[in-house]
Structure 1
Amino acid sequence: MSFHAKRRHFVAGHIDRRQFLAGCSATLALGLARPALSQQQRLRMIFWGSQTRAERTYAAADLYMKAHPGTGVDGEFLGWNDYWAKLATQTAGGNAPDIIQMDYRYIVEYAGRGAIAPLDDFVGSTLNVADFDPLQVDSGKVDGKLYGISLGANSVAMMVNKAVFEQLKLPLPDAKTTWEDFSKLAAEITDAGIRRGFYGAADGSKNEQIFENYLRQRGKALYTADGQIAFDAADVAEWFDMWAKLREAGAVPPGDIQELDQQNIDTSLLTQNKVAVAYANSNELVGYRKLNKDPVVLANFPRLTAESKGGHYRKPAMLFSVFAKSPNQKAAAEFISYFVNDLEAAKVLGTERGIPESSKVRDALSGTLDETGKAMLAYVSGLGDLAAKLPPSPPKAAGEVLIAFQRTASGVAFGSQSSSDAAQAFVTEAAEILKRKT
């Protein structure tokens, strides 16, 4: 199921969980029909994610409102692709929500065009980040000012259907698995024909996170510190060629099947039971396990060779920012502080958005984590030499470059361009985008 503008309206008081799950239209009607409290302050919040994230977020908001009588919260969530299109429209129109879920790759862009507000004046009073890892606090800074608060640390990962590997008596991918090893495993799973139209792994050719990991293993990066591309057409051509060979071997699905994945948990080919391996962020294990009947486990991305350094890094899974034109900036900062520090809220939120940044919250959760939470914590903290330094925030045009990369990769998958021609075209387009946006 793909989520489009799923909205829940809160008022200070109780709204039955069953009413929310009955559907967004019914919930909207309930929210509008119920009279607001006098002098009520209302906050609007928008975030991307799955039904699981929405339920946890709304439960935490319920707790916040109980602790802050007279405050209402309007919550809205969408799938990843729809989210950024809508947020761009809202910020351009000056009517974005007060609280905005922000991604590390977009924070420079939104801060640079004045769409989100610096939060420095709230730190130490309204906004508490005293026991956060300083590096994670810095991940929300642009040009020395704080524009986002990390909601948890994570790293990229493969989501692996453990049952398929056990059924075929194949070794699970691990820290020693190379791309050559992975290619053979994926092809063997497809060839086993355990079910109709089932492939060893999803096609990751347009997944920028895997591409970045691949580049970092080669001593390169997506972007330089001054916001230019840090790779060349040969790197991209080799990348497209690698996936073309996997496609030809049947290890990954053809383009038309892969396009069924709309880049969210609900439409992932793993959730659709069409592949044994998909690619995501480690915190998304919560949602994958909820939507998949077979057991799903985490694995790192493969190495180029057994001797290659890893391409992983620990990053903010996502951040909360405040709309620059919000009339409720202080109240929004107060909500964010509650979200990342309150122990009761932490019990509800768990590790679905990553490993909490507050050491107090981590300590409180450590003894209460379920098996999924423990698996995520073990993965992020156990990357070892697979992980290196967090790269600089991508430049403000990175979102447009990503769209070009995905479009180009899809073209190669459908056979409309060769790997070399597509690579050169993409590098040229990316350079033009970055030049135009500087």
Structure 2
Amino acid sequence: MNLNRRQLIKNGLALGAMAALAPAIRAQETGLRTIFWGGQARAERTFKVFDLFSAARGGGPVASEFMGFNDYWAKVATLTAGGNAPDLIQMDYRYIVEYARRGALAPLDGYLGGALDVSDFDADQVEAGKVDGKLYGVSLGAGGFCLQVNASAFERAGLPAPGPETSYADLAGMVSDFNAANAGMHMLMDASGNEPALENWLRQRGKALYTPDGALAFDAADASEWFALWADLRGKGVCVPADVQALSTGTIDTSMLVSGKAATGITGVNELIAYQALVQDTLKVTNMPLVAAGGKGGHYRKPTMLWTLANTSTLKDEAVDLANFFTHDLEAASVLGLERGIPCSAASREHIVTGLTDLEKQTVDFFANLGDLLGDIPPPPPAAAGEIDLSLLRTISQEIAFGAKTPEAGGAEMVSGANDILARAG
């Protein structure tokens, strides 16, 4: 039986149901527990900060586990449903409304001005951690999504790497020369089931994923056009075929970019450093492809992730202290660098900026160079957004990619299914 994340929360399944996920576990000692998604590079930096915190506070080690993004949400849902959630849960902007409104998270307002200091945070990052006027999340860095590009692959083909003016049509026009020079590699990953890519495309066309009150903000014609775009790119050999894209499990090491199957990937801007560590070719970050030449972009700054406090935690004070340490301790800032995005604390940001490498400076400069391609952050998505992403968009996109559905049928099913999910959640 295929269970989605929302069903796990509602039904309260036993923790053993997801044992097959086999996450990487750092420690199982009693005391503070955390959970986060990410790869080995993120884990190593995170564990170093946990050790700094334990040494500074004279406490025991922080127990933690981490895994790839795709597996992460089922694991968190299972732990939450079973009443065994870690004290600190790394949270994504798209899911914070769901977990906060279900009572799974504890508000942090009572700690402000005391154990938790956000006084020198960027204002937009503080607001992004709020649900219904209460603070539930501490932003771990400002970031957003980008097109990460294997510049060397385009250089081998004698082609310009994608940049600010590149459209989807431009990429399609390069396919013959690119593929001839890069055996076994396609130009694009298949992003038809990638929610950030869909949202960016919608925003470029003056639309959105959701309205401010949590309703679907696009229609079947929009969804069909999106799926048709990728069907066309797939048919022309611009993006990887369905069976190749299916090899990606949501981890960096199985991504199309790192595996050498595609010369681009839709990633967080802050992930450039982790990706480059695994790829010999030169990588760079740029804006998402344009829908039309000279069009507006769909980018916005968002929290790359947030620390949130489990409502069931019996160590709330210590957990908030750890979250504050994570964002304010200067030695911790040096260890973390930009791996989780641009530090929100002005003091932490100023502390690390002078020592950044050229690669790290790319991530800082990304938003400054977007100009009119950068817009305002949308409101937090509705509680059911995670289910629509994981259980609907990804499934339908794969069915279309494998030829089981047409883009038109998939678009209609996407919208009707999303509306059904939103109605049930409401």
TM-score computed with the length of structure 2 as normaliser: 0.93
**CA apart distance, 1:79:** 0.6
Q: Partners of 2:117 and 2:21 in 1: how far apart?
A: 32
**CA apart distance, 1:193:** 4.7
SS, match of residue 46 in structure 1: strand
**CA apart distance, 1:64:** 0.7
Q: Partners of 1:314 and 1:217 in 2: how far apart?
A: 15
Q: Give 2:411's aligned residue.
A: 423
Deviations 1:30-63 (A, max 9, x none): x66xxxxxxxx71001000010000000011111
Q: Give 2:14's aligned residue.
A: none
SS, match of residue 321 in structure 2: helix
Q: 1:416 to 1:432 in 2, by over 3 A?
A: same
Q: What amino acid is aligned across from residue 134 of structure 1 in structure 2?
A: A
Does structure 1 residue 434 correspond to structure 2 residue 415?
A: no
Does structure 1 residue 274 correspond to structure 2 residue 231?
A: no
**CA apart distance, 1:178:** 1.4
**CA apart distance, 1:380:** 2.5
Q: Partners of 1:300 and 1:282 in 2: how far apart?
A: 10
Matches within 5 A, 1:54-73: 54-73=43-62
Q: Partners of 1:194 and 1:423 in 2: how far apart?
A: 33
Q: Give 2:316's aligned residue.
A: 329
How many residues are paired up?
A: 406
Deviations 1:301-333 (A, max 9, x none): 011122311100011000000100101111100
SS, match of residue 72 in structure 1: coil
Matches within 5 A, 1:26-425: 42-190=31-179, 192-195=180-183, 197-403=184-390, 404-425=392-413
Q: Partners of 1:210 and 1:8 in 2: how far apart?
A: 33
TM-score computed with the length of structure 1 as normaliser: 0.91
Q: 1:233 to 1:340 in 2, by over 3 A?
A: same
**CA apart distance, 1:186:** 4.1
**CA apart distance, 1:3:** 8.5
**CA apart distance, 1:200:** 1.4
Q: Partners of 1:87 and 1:146 in 2: how far apart?
A: 20
**CA apart distance, 1:350:** 0.3
Contact 1:3 1:50 in 2 (8 A): no
Contact 2:129 2:136 in 1 (8 A): yes
Q: Could you tell me the percent identity over the aligned residues?
A: 47
Q: Which runs of 4+ in 1 moved over 3 A?
A: none
Q: 1:127 to 1:187 in 2, by over 3 A?
A: farther
**CA apart distance, 1:187:** 4.7
Q: Partners of 1:200 and 1:72 in 2: how far apart?
A: 44
- Which 5+ residue runs of structure 1 have no aligned equivalent? 10-30, 33-40
Q: What amino acid is aligned across from residue 117 of structure 2 in structure 1?
A: N
Q: Give 1:37's aligned residue.
A: none
Contact 1:183 1:246 in 2 (8 A): yes
- Which 5+ residue runs of structure 2 have no aligned equivalent? 1-19
Q: What amino acid is aligned across from residue 397 of structure 1 in structure 2?
A: A
**CA apart distance, 1:299:** 1.2
Contact 1:128 1:337 in 2 (8 A): yes
SS, match of residue 373 in structure 1: helix
User: More deviation in 377-386 or 52-61?
Assistant: 377-386
Matches within 5 A, 1:10-21: none
Deviations 1:168-223 (A, max 9, x none): 11111111111211222345312x1532x321111111111011000001110000
Q: Give 2:11's aligned residue.
A: none
Q: What amino acid is aligned across from residue 432 of structure 1 in structure 2?
A: D
Q: Partners of 1:342 and 1:372 in 2: how far apart?
A: 23
Q: 1:401 to 1:6 in 2, by over 3 A?
A: same
Q: 1:252 to 1:312 in 2, by over 3 A?
A: same
SS, match of residue 31 in structure 2: strand
SS, match of residue 292 in structure 1: coil
Deviations 1:61-94 (A, max 9, x none): 1111110102431011011111100000000110
Calculate the aligned-residue CA RMSD, in Å: 1.4
Q: Give 1:15's aligned residue.
A: none
Q: Partners of 1:254 and 1:406 in 2: how far apart?
A: 15
**CA apart distance, 1:100:** 0.4
Contact 1:270 1:277 in 2 (8 A): yes
Q: Give 1:18's aligned residue.
A: none
